[in-house]
Amino acid sequence: MQRSIVAHCRPGFEPECASDILRIARRAGIEVHCAPEPDSALVVASSDMIDDARWQAALKAAPAWFARSIFVGFGPHGFSERDRIGPLLTIARDCQPPFRTIWLETPDTNAGKTRSGLCRRLSPLLNAAAEDAGLLAPDDISARRLHVVFVSASRAWIGSSRDATGSPWPMGIPRLALPRSAPSRSTLKLAEALLTFLSDEERARLLQPGMRAVDLGAAPGGWTWQLAQRGLRVTAIDNGPLKGTIANDPLVEHVRENGLTWRLSTPGCGT
């Protein structure tokens, strides 16, 4: 049976996501065919032979840049809307169970978001059925994650990923709540970047309380707030005002200058 590499990405970045898959496949010595569909937020590469060991080694050595989440599986599979659970369990048995968790996902598009309710309704039913069938092992750290990506209410891609090389979040998107005291939603962009690009060890080492940082173009202060919350002393550069509590935070020095032309003058600042 032909297998596929399935990757979530941000809408509009399908060509870049496809280049990720092709680059990793070349490193693994795997020939794949990939024709990304514009604005689909999902890229699929098919292959007659995907060697799992070589693919995992290549993915670990050369991680994706634009793909948010990658798994190997089959599809798209069609289902009767009257019975999805039974067919899903049948296909899941071919995806190397048991699984640590099951993720019901959709592409990150407006159309995909309309199926989020379907995923929420099916999730407890599928998990209960998978547990009864012996397909779940939540305490087994070597077990895979099962992905079920609904591209319509009756069609889905199904496959699995490993903890070491897959995204830690469904669809590759961390779900972050906006703190009430944050001055803008931009704080979530930095929070997501820190979670995505830095490991737990790197965040602990590079973002220690007492370290200094510079936020160029800081107003209204979302990124400055994120850094100050981690205990960093922040020089916020912007002619515009900082909003909310961050404007009077003792860890923040607001310098009213142009962030494009400001130059470091304080010894030790930014280290």
Contact 216, 235 (CB under 8 A): no
Query: Which residue numbers in the chain have pLDDT < 50?
Result: 270-271
Architecture of the domain defined by 186-255 = 3-Layer(aba) Sandwich (3.40)
C-alpha angle 177-254-241 in degrees, rounded to nearest 5? 65
Q: Alpha-carbon distance 125 to 133, whole Å? A: 12
Q: What is the pLDDT of residue 266?
A: 56
Burial class (CB in 10 A: 0-12, 13-18, 19+), 36: buried
12 C-beta neighbours (distance < 10 Å), count: 11
- Token readout for 109 is 């598009």
Q: What is the pLDDT of residue 270?
A: 47
SS3 256: coil
Architecture of the domain defined by 3-172 = 2-Layer Sandwich (3.30)
Write out pLDDT tens, residues 209-244. Answer: 999 999 999 999 999 999 999 999 999 999 999 999
Residue whose entry in the numeric block shows the structure tokens 């003792």: 250
Q: What is the pLDDT of residue 268?
A: 52
Q: What is the pLDDT of residue 263?
A: 86
Contact 45, 26 (CB under 8 A): no
Return the domain boundaries, the chain.
3-172, 186-255
